[in-house]
Amino acid sequence: MIKLGSHVGMAGKDMFLASVKEAESYGANVLMLYTGAPQNTRRKEIKDLNIEKGWEYAAQAGINEIVVHAPYIINLANTVKPETFTLAVEFLEKEIIRTAAMRSKILVLHPGSCLDAGVDAGTAQIVKGLNQVLDQNEDDVFIALETMAGKGSEIGRSFEELARIYEGVHKKERLRVCFDTCHVNDAGYDLSYDYEGVFQHFDEVLGLGQIAVFHINDSMNPCGTHKDRHANIGKGYLGEEVLKKLVHDPRFEEIPKILETPWLCEEGSDKKTIPPYKEEIRQLLG
């Protein structure tokens, strides 16, 4: 069975129950969420996330798997400000615990930005941080390093950069990859014209078995522009055909696929208030 869903919110008194109901309304059978705002460290207590009722409803809705995304404020690659690195390590530790409490096995993480220190120093810092966290944590949660577009000083813009992180981490078995189609396109991997070649290269560098989740996004920019701007399905440079091919690829049938495409505007308005996920899920499954 194809596992296809989208990013959903988690707020109000219903929290996780509201997340599941939102995913159900889109016709999703998997979902991704943040355990709190992605831009700050404010978090509700685990007991207030309404996890039990959410999973009771999920069982009825046919949703039996969720993905958690770590907040953007975690930057393990920062070598310039020790306090930023310390915050990243401490908060990642907490997010793993929260992910396990949510009954998710996958925590998606942006590897980090090295600023002016360079990729080598930034990668060493990421490895240092992951070892500090994973060497002391026994939860069965995988850290899924996200493929990045290469915007600014992001690390993870190539499969080789992710492989270098793997090489230094003690508990490599706790690492996986989140394969973002928009980011991969913008990083220079041409999925539209060399679909099999891209995945063959990934297999040679990291192994297809390391992909734990896909982010299914079209791209507003041509291949290799390092921009990271998501587009709605079929409205960008990747196009509907290749994204549909990936969703239906039998090699990846059991891997969760998550839409992060932009919300839409009502006619005559410039405010994005309409989620596109119900239609895009139908579009990709059709």
Q: Which amino acids are annotated as binding site for Zn(2+), given as ranges?
A: 69, 110, 146, 180, 183, 215, 228, 230, 260
Query: Please, which residues bridge with residue 145 across strands?
Result: 109, 177
CA nearest neighbour of 130 among 98, 101, 162: 162
SS3 (DSSP) at 173: helix
Q: How far apart are CA 166 and CA 175, in angstroms?
A: 7
Tokens of 124: 């060493």
CA nearest neighbour of 23 among 256, 222, 182: 256
For residue 278, which phi and psi values (nearest 5 degrees)?
-60, -45
* Alpha carbon separation from 115 to 78, 101, 123, 183, 245 (Å, rounded): 7, 33, 12, 19, 36
In the annotated binding site, the residues are: 69, 110, 146, 180, 183, 215, 228, 230, 260
CA nearest neighbour of 231 among 183, 171, 168, 273: 183
Q: Write the DSSP symbol of residue 55.
A: H
